[in-house]
Chains A and B, each alone.
Chain A
Amino acid sequence: MAGRGKLIAVLGDEDTVTGFLLGGVGELNKHRKPNFLVVEKETSLTEIEETFRSFLSRDDIGIVLINQFIAELIRHAIDAHTRSLPAVLEIPSKEHPYDAAKDSILRRAKGMFTAEDLR
């Protein structure tokens, strides 16, 4: 698997997932398990979180793309993920533009400079 490269997983609204699948990231493995989740109004928070955690635990996934508004819903799970692999990328959605202030990576970078450090 490592020799072939890892997958890019997508967790997002219909247009985001459709776009990235058009780009060729989609996979249905032999157990018919997809590497994407279309989040709709009916999709429960538990399902989103479980899917996200399952993506993190899969060793064949290298990057997880997630809409930022969905990331906001499961922020605790995203903040708890501190490993470099898989990388979690927060991306904009059609209705919610990207806000750098909410991005977990940038928030961590911002938080490294405390008042005491700069004294």
Chain B
Amino acid sequence: MAELAALSRELDERLLHLLEALETLQSKRAAFNSRVEQGWFSLSKSRFAMGCKSVSALQYGARMEPLVRVQAREAGSGQFVFQVIPGESDPVLDTAEESPAVDEIGPPEQVLRRRKGPGYMEEVEHPLEADPTPPHSQHGASAQDPLTWFGILVPQSLRQAQSSFREGILLAGEIATLQSDIEATQTQYQALLQRKRQLVDREGWGCPWSPPPPPPPHCRGGSGEKSWAHCTRRHQLQ
């Protein structure tokens, strides 16, 4: 009987945990959906500012490296914890964010500008000697930023969209963790319930949630010890 009580208590705890997790999942979902909706709105505003075809799949970069990754570690009993972590190139991105290269227009040195006139050759040769690195490697940091796919001067709304989706990605990690928790709890609950049923059937206690009712007269005797579940099923069929 003590085992049954302990099992029932454990079942109640699992159930409460499951309901709490479902409630948290619902609130996280609402937050995620609102971030994503905000992101779409900002994307639409960017399209309005830049032109309809300027923000589409056609602008995706030829090279892509993830700036965020997700670390999945097992927390026991088949449950995983998903943590969104910055990718390897994120420190570079942070530098790029501090001094946004996408806002810079034109070459950094004015002497690079091509001008017609007598001093043309000297002006072109001098910067090439001074700065042999190609512009791509100089701005390798900003090349990682997906904002650059959509142009050098991007509207503020596109930055807002990026920030909304980044928040959404963080929430996605939390939602994935909650989903995994829910599934693990569900499995544990089913296993406990199965164990309790077996215990109840083995001991012949009848209904696990109430004291054993006296068996109906037609169920007494005959086939001997009949479980509560068996009798109930029979009554339902009748």
Contacts and interface: CB of A to CB of B under 8 A. Distances in A.
A109 interface: yes
Contacts of B141: none
Contacts of A6: 69-72
B85 interface: yes
A35 B93 CA distance: 20
A14 B180 CA distance: 28
A50 B39 CA distance: 28
Contacts of B179: 87, 89, 105
A65 interface: yes
Contacts of A8: 66, 68-70, 169, 172
Given A25-B169, A26-B146, A92-B33, A112 B189 contact: yes
Contact of B176 (A4, A24, A87, A119): A87
Counting contact residues on chain B (CB < 8 A from A), the size range is 35 or more
Nearest to B85: A5
Most chain B CB within 10 A, of A14, A21, A98, is at A21
A92 B29 CA distance: 10
A62 B183 contact: no
Contacts, number: 148
B56 A18 contact: yes
Contacts of A91: 32-33, 36, 172
A19 B193 contact: no
A34 B22 CA distance: 33
Contact of A65 (B43, B172, B190): B172
Nearest to B170: A23
Given A22-B147, A84-B180, A27 B66 contact: yes
A14 B66 contact: no
Contact of B166 (A23, A89, A98): A23
5 contacts: A14-B57, A23-B162, A23-B165, A87-B72, A91-B36
Given A4-B88, A23-B166, A89-B176, 6 more contacts: A21-B60, A24-B166, A26-B61, A62-B69, A108-B186, A109-B186
